[in-house]
Amino acid sequence: MTETKEQNEVVNVAVVDDDANVRTGLKWLLDNVVGLRCSGTYATMSGAMCGLAEQPPDVLLLDVSLPDISGLDGIRMVRTELPSVKIIMHSNYDEEDKIVRSIKAGASGYVLKNASAPMLHDAIFKVYRGDTVWPGGYVESPSSKEPRPSLLGTVVEKLRTFLFAVRSHFGTSL
């Protein structure tokens, strides 16, 4: 079950994504969970900055790739203009470079667009509470603001290496 805030409190979440279908779907997902409310949807970062200034959300779901300003530059803009807003990058890209750059720019999380609704909801609540959320085997290292492999990521990598060695030894007939 998805965590919620204190009774009668609602986490306001704004969405910035250039895909109208993504914006519509996220609005529906947010508005249908107790404790979450979509406070606005925006197709561009410049449009978002106008709307966010009038009604700052608690959490911002920000697409990495936008037509006017990159999501990474968007993080810096929001950090400067609205420092209390927590930012989760919402992306199709599971690339280490984009994750690291998001961390360095000041995002509190990075969630892939193919994440399940409960995973997205949990990420929003965690980031709202001050935690960080990163995909796969990465967790934030507070001292360096660099991702470091988690135990699970390390185990998965060792398992891949082992399976590759077994496959190389016995061939593809396994």
Within-domain flag for 73:
yes
CA gap 46, 169 in Å, rounded: 55
CATH number of the domain enclosing 92: 3.40.50.2300
If one compares 170 and 28, the residue with the highest pLDDT of the two is 28
Q: Using an 8 Å Cβ cutoff, are 51 and 14 in contact?
A: yes
Its pTM stands at 0.75
Given this model, what pLDDT does residue 2 score?
A: 47
61-67 mean pLDDT: 93
User: Of 63-67, 92-96, 112-116, 124-128, which range is least confident?
Assistant: 92-96
Beta bridge partners of 123: none
Within-domain flag for 126:
yes
Within-domain flag for 110:
yes
pLDDT higher than 70, residue 143: no
Q: With CA atoms as reference, report the closest residue to 13 among 65, 47, 55.
A: 55
Given this model, what pLDDT does residue 141 score?
A: 43
Within-domain flag for 102:
yes
Given this model, what pLDDT does residue 1 score?
A: 42
C-beta atoms surrounding 126 within 10 Å: 18
Within-domain flag for 72:
yes
pLDDT higher than 80, residue 148: no
pLDDT tens figures, 5-51: 455 689 999 999 999 999 999 999 999 999 999 999 999 999 999 99
pLDDT higher than 70, residue 56: yes
Given this model, what pLDDT does residue 39 score?
A: 97
41-68 mean pLDDT: 94
98-125 mean pLDDT: 93
Within-domain flag for 47:
yes
How many domains would you assign to the chain? Answer: 1
Within-domain flag for 140:
no
Give residue 121's domain range: 11-135
Within-domain flag for 104:
yes
Q: Using an 8 Å Cβ cutoff, are 72 and 14 in contact?
A: no
